[in-house]
Amino acid sequence: MGPKEINCLALTLVLWLSLSGCESSDSQNQRQPSKSDGTAAPQGVAQAPPKLGPDASGTAPAPPGMGPVAPVVGPAPPGVSRPSGESAGVNDVDDSLAADHAAKLAGVIEQVAPCLVRLDIVSANGPVSGSGFVVSEAGTIVTNYHVAEAAQTVSATFGDGSKLAIEGFKYVAPARDVAVLQTAPPERALPFLQLAKKDPIKNDSVVALGSPPGASFSACEGSVSGIRTGKKPGDLAELGAELIGIWAQVSAQVSPETSGGPLVNRAGDVVGMATATLATERNFALSREELRLALDKARTQPVTALDKLPPFRNPSKAPRPAIDAEVTPTENAQPSKTDLSQQESAEFARLSTVVWFGAKCRDIKELPPVAKNSLGRKRTDSGSAVAIQEISDDSPASRAGILKDDLLGTLDGTPVTQAGDIEKLVDQFTEGQDAKVLVWRPQPNGRYSKKLLTVRIEPLIPRRALDYVTTADVPPEVRDLLKRHLLRYAAKLFETINPPEQQKAGSGASAGGKQPPVGSGGMPVQAIREKSPFAPSFAPAFGTDVPVRLGNIGHLEHVRVLAIATQKMAVARIKGGLIALLADTSSLIKGKQLKEETFNLGRAQIIGTVTVMLDEKNARTATIFVARPLAVEAYLPQW
């Protein structure tokens, strides 16, 4: 299978170059997440990162914890070095630069992501989606007013998929496009963000984060390009809305669905709130000072029902909400029920009809002369039989009693004149049907005895595996993973039974049965069939079997690690880009050297994106996919 067009916290990053307007910035010191002492994080927020080994996957139910970021491979890699013999080309420099930027953002994302929410609103204006962020352990959430305006019901979804209903609002200022909402009482204290001690100034490094549909988060680094202040409507016409207050213009991208998310500094403290506006493509954020004033006023206010939200004085000049009809997900960042391509879906549907015989054959004319002589010239010259070259253990042919070196003459009365005939004839049968097979068996005296045997036709893919994948109660992205497992399992089986070079030659191995997609073989049929189709050896890999898209689950196998942020992240190259796994990576290092050139880092699920700046002057950026190490054992059949 080739790659096709492609929720839960921690990190895997995949690089795809694109042009956009984020600006670069230097990293600053980072601190640990803000949580109340003695309180537990909400479900899905991990307190320690999963550990990785050269051939073992880390598993985590949610975001791993991290300490100070220390990228160790970059354009001039400090600390950990590449294995000896490795050289860097032009692409290596770009990849290392992107890896370096990603590593420097790791701490910010680890701190902020658990505090992000996606707000799904049913409103008089239609369905609306926007972002928000938690500012108290009791569930106080800040967002743009235009996101919540006219709301009838609002729910807050965290990165791990958990939800809390919004009970109402504590303070709103439509003219400043800010709303302070309150969730229903959470079962446990929530992680929350703190305001920075001062407002940002021009050229400060910032990161804009949000929680768009289909992702746990998105993040974009940039800088402050200016400060705007409006004391009365009309003073900030460049924002494209009738707003007042102190606003920062930023280079970090803000989309409608991430509007309402926090703008943070490199320490992870809030310096503003990102806002998407109506009549301009420029990106703005309400300042930290405006947020401080709003929260001060909200602190002593009761919770008011959502139906009491006041409207904008001039709706036509209001900031733009992320209404569903306006949101056009990018090709590589889209929520979906299934990510299987039409080709993959068709191939999987065919698996239920693929039957097999279990014998590898060759044409009778290829037999040694002594065997030809014992059968007689007329039979061998006419090619009226094929020789059984191999029999797969536990196959329909072996259970019927067919042996290696038997000569197969007819299948259900139809002459078999060449090796490829078996496949065509078996295709006419369905699972469970019997086929009569006429064979000639070599005897010790050099002659052949005639036998009529019955072969019960069986499915190539175990029926219970197909039934499990189609009926198990699992999330859609897990079902996609299991289906790709079966496709890769079938590909290996088919190529082992019927290698491509023999298919091209028109003779040789014959499985019988409709052909599943060809993939990589390399194991004997018996060895493949003795394994579960869901074994790690059949795990679909990112970049080859699994498209790199939000929600997808894939295996990180044979990846070349370019950067290590100790106990946090491993940035590696796969086919089509970079991938960086956030986990405890200390086991990948020996001294200051990577232990291996390639690693198997286990399964991971893509959950978000990060945009980093490669070239500030030319505004060349890299959008990086973000995922987490994922344990899927709970979803696998226990056979």
The pLDDT tens digits for 574-603 are 776 777 787 777 888 888 788 888 888 889
Beta-bridge partners for 574? 577
CA proximity to 629, closest of 610, 602, 608: 602
Pairing state between β 151-157 and 116-123: antiparallel
Question: Which comes out higher in pLDDT, residue 138 or 568?
Answer: 138
CB 81 within 8 A of CB 591: no
- Residue 4, in any domain of the structure: no
- Residue 403, in any domain of the structure: yes
48 pLDDT more than 50: no
What's the full length of the chain, in residues?
Answer: 639
Please, what is the Cα angle at 238 between 236 and 242, to 5 degrees? 45
538 and 582 in a single domain? The answer is no
Question: Which pLDDT does position 20 carry in this prediction?
Answer: 35
- Residue 334, in any domain of the structure: no
Over the chain, what is the mean pLDDT?
A: 75
DSSP classification of residue 15: E
- Out of 545, 578, 593, a domain closes at 545
Lowest-pLDDT range of 287-301, 358-372, 619-633: 358-372
179 and 255 in a single domain? The answer is yes
294 and 358 in a single domain? The answer is no
State how far the Cα of 468 lies from the Cα of 124, in Å rounded to an integer. Answer: 43
Mean pLDDT of 516-538: 66
- Out of 511, 545, 579, a domain closes at 545
380 and 518 in a single domain? The answer is yes
Question: Which pLDDT does position 171 carry in this prediction?
Answer: 95
CB 394 within 8 A of CB 526: yes
242 and 158 in a single domain? The answer is yes
The CATH number of the domain holding residue 177 is 2.40.10.120
Strand runs (DSSP E) across 320-447, as ranges? 355-356, 359-363, 386-391, 407-411, 414-415, 434-442
116 pLDDT more than 90: yes
- Residue 200, in any domain of the structure: yes
State how far the Cα of 572 lies from the Cα of 91, in Å rounded to an integer. Answer: 13
Q: How many domains does the chain have?
A: 3
Six-digit token pair at 191? Answer: 């992680």
Question: Which pLDDT does position 156 carry in this prediction?
Answer: 95
CB 599 within 8 A of CB 54: yes
226 pLDDT more than 60: yes
Beta-bridge partners for 130? 119
Mean pLDDT of 153-159: 93
In percent, the amount of the chain with pLDDT more than 90 equals 25
- DSSP per residue, 472-488: S---HHHHHHHHHHHHH
Q: How confident is the model at residue 33 (pLDDT cuts 50, 70, 90)?
A: very low
- DSSP per residue, 229-248: EESSTTTTGGGTS---EEEE
- Residue 167, in any domain of the structure: yes
pLDDT digits (tens, 9 = 90+) for 242-286: 788 999 988 888 877 788 999 999 999 999 999 865 455 678 899
Q: Which residues contact 515 (CB under 8 A, 6 or more apart)?
A: 354, 494, 498
536 and 553 in a single domain? The answer is no
Beta-bridge partners for 245? 230
Mean pLDDT of 116-140: 90
169 and 233 in a single domain? The answer is yes
500 and 611 in a single domain? The answer is no
- CA 58 distance to own-chain centroid: 15
Question: Which pLDDT does position 285 carry in this prediction?
Answer: 92
Question: Which pLDDT does position 634 carry in this prediction?
Answer: 86
227 and 318 in a single domain? The answer is yes
Q: How confident is the model at residue 47 (pLDDT cuts 50, 70, 90)?
A: very low
80 pLDDT more than 90: no
255 and 291 in a single domain? The answer is yes
CB 21 within 8 A of CB 254: no
469 pLDDT more than 60: yes
Q: Can you give the residue range of the structural domain that contains 591?
A: 11-112+546-635
- Residue 458, in any domain of the structure: yes
442 pLDDT more than 60: yes
pLDDT digits (tens, 9 = 90+) for 364-406: 776 667 666 666 654 555 557 888 888 877 789 999 999 998 9
177 and 146 in a single domain? The answer is yes
CA proximity to 569, closest of 556, 559, 583, 555: 583
Mean pLDDT of 292-310: 92
103 pLDDT more than 60: yes
- Out of 326, 360, 378, a domain closes at 326
181 pLDDT more than 90: yes
- Residue 75, in any domain of the structure: yes
State how far the Cα of 353 lies from the Cα of 339, in Å rounded to an integer. Answer: 23
Question: Which pLDDT does position 41 carry in this prediction?
Answer: 34
Sign of the alpha-carbon torsion through 95, 100, 102, 103: positive
- DSSP per residue, 184-201: SPPSSPPP---B-SS---
- Residue 2, in any domain of the structure: no
Question: Which pLDDT does position 107 carry in this prediction?
Answer: 84
Which pTM value belongs to this model?
A: 0.71
190 and 294 in a single domain? The answer is yes
CB 426 within 8 A of CB 457: yes
The CATH number of the domain holding residue 449 is 2.30.42.10
State how far the Cα of 288 lies from the Cα of 246, in Å rounded to an integer. Answer: 9
